[in-house]
Amino acid sequence: MKVLVIGSGEKEHAIVWKLSQSRNINRIFCSPGNTEIAEIAECVDVSPNNFRALIDFVKYEWIDLTVVGPEELFSKGIVDEFEKEGCKILGPNRRAAQLTSSRVFAKNLMRLHRIPTAEFKVFTSYLHAKDYVRLKGTPIVIKADTPFEEPGEFVVSTLEEAMDALKLVIEDRIGVDTSKRVIIEDNLKGERVSFIILTDGKTIVPFTGLHKYKQLFSGNTVPKTTVMGASSPAPIITKKLEDIIMEKIMRPIIKALNSENIIYKGVLSADLVIDKDNPYVFDFKCCFCDPETQTVLPRIKTDFIDLAQAIIEERLSEIKIEWKQGASVCVVISSKDYPNKYQKGAIIKGLEKIKLMNDTVVFHAGTSFLDKDIIASGGRVISIIATGTEIKDASNKAYNALEKISFDGMYYRKDIGNNKF
């Protein structure tokens, strides 16, 4: 088989790495890829947003299946365009991707079908939104309609923070669709966890749970930023709680989409708040996210390509997902001052030592070559993932590996895997 992976980050690196372990695949392409992906796949200099060029490449190379990394491509209709040309591709079409491309769509759907989520209101007026926040008080959650542009989600504890967030979302137009819609919702108390399912539009299969560390600094102190680490599985998700999540959230949301004549096929991840065994939806994501992908894929025993084909061909009911024993931990390493303006060009030392370690792998995001050296060229630079008998064991291995590498301005959280989320 020939497979094309679209994207250039650590998530796509993890997908290519997992696909390279399949006996059924003899050639992997990645568009555009990165320095380390080029070690295990053939990188193609085509923009992920150039659907026509990608389809032409797929047809020219007789590629059997395409796997998409960047979540926003689903909302732009990449699956619709590929399927129109008879090309197999993993993921939801444009209408199904509304579940994550528009938080307003998702919240209204959940309200209509009584799927548990925080109480909310939608505003387009800065003045009306301000009045509502003053009436409700803080803490409160403020979200942009679209999640693709950061920062688009704020958990604010003072009125001053709330006014600043509203100005960013409404007046400064955070969000790629510039709709200026803002969601203001109750700040639910409880443990934050993510839960992933696979579905082919007919069969819905629970996949796994994980914890994500969503702040830049250890101890979950502000500022909030893209996720700096993860651990899997999530101890809080017992078999009992998994059944509750499936019955109250995951099956009902797929049924709700079906009621709108929308067939969802692919991976669906739900960010949840768990309050005394009661799960509430915080957000949905229509793919393996970052760093979910890096964290989860090393734990899967089942061939990834078998899962992808079963979803596309609507025969997921025939597949039994097998897992390796134990747990995994992902630690993201960033450049100094990320997510603000950060330095570039620092030489990364010690990566070759990690390649000799068992149960540990490095996935690259913002790196490039300078002569023969690998340098930091992005805000998020690399992720280190380790597997172990339990989360604590995996965490120890990940941080042991971290001690072997260094670069100027290197930063990472020091508490991933210690059960403080």
Which band of pLDDT confidence, cut at 50, 70 and 90, is reported for residue 179?
A: low
Domain containing 170 — which CATH number?
3.30.1490.20
Q: Is 344 helix (H, G, I), strand (E, B) or coil?
A: coil
Q: Quick check: helix, strand or coil at residue 64?
A: coil
Least confident range of 146-160, 340-354, 373-387: 146-160
Q: What is the pLDDT of residue 25?
A: 97
Cα distance between residue 105 and residue 269, in whole Å: 16
Which of 168, 179, 41 is CA-nearest to residue 104? 179
Residues 261, 358 within the same domain = no
Mean pLDDT over each residue of the chain, to the nearest integer: 92
Q: What's the number of domains the chain is made of?
A: 4
- The pLDDT tens digits for 364-390 are 999 999 888 999 998 999 999 999 999
Six-digit token pair at 285? 């994501």
Q: Do residues 198 and 307 lie in contact, with contact meaning Cβ atoms separated by under 8 Å? A: yes
208 phi/psi in degrees, rounded to 5 = -160, 170
CATH (domain of 86): 3.40.50.20
Does residue 311 share a domain with residue 220? yes
Where is the domain boundary, 296, 318, 340? Answer: 318
Residue 77's pLDDT band (cuts 50, 70, 90): very high
Which of 318, 351, 369 represents a domain boundary (last residue)? Answer: 318
Fill in the DSSP letter of residue 100. Answer: H
Give pLDDT, residue 7. Answer: 96
Query: Which domain CATH number covers 398?
Result: 3.90.600.10
> Please, what is the Cα angle at 261 between 260 and 266, to 5 degrees?
100
> Rounded to whole angstroms, how far apart are CA atoms 416 and 256?
36
| pLDDT value at residue 153 | 85
> Which strand (E) or helix (H) includes residue 56?
helix 51-61
Is residue 421 in some structural domain? no
- What lies within 8 Å, CB to CB, of 242 at 6+ separation is 195, 206, 209
Q: Which domain holds residue 379?
A: 327-402
Contact at 8 Å (CB) between 375 and 36? Answer: no
Confidence of residue 304 (pLDDT cuts 50, 70, 90): very high
pTM of the predicted model as reported, rounded to 2 decimal places: 0.93
* Widest Cα–Cα separation across the chain: 61
Q: pLDDT (tens digit, 9 = 90+) per residue, 203-242?
A: 999 999 999 998 776 655 444 556 899 999 999 999 999 9
- 182 lies in the same domain as 198: no
Q: How does pLDDT run across 242-258, given as a tens digit for each residue?
A: 999 999 999 999 999 99
Last residue of a domain, one of 186, 202, 220: 186
Answer yes or no: is 14 within a domain. Answer: yes
User: Which of 166, 115, 114 is closest to 140 using CA atoms?
Assistant: 166
pLDDT computed for residue 176 by the predictor: 40
pLDDT (tens digit per residue) in 154-171: 889 999 999 999 988 887
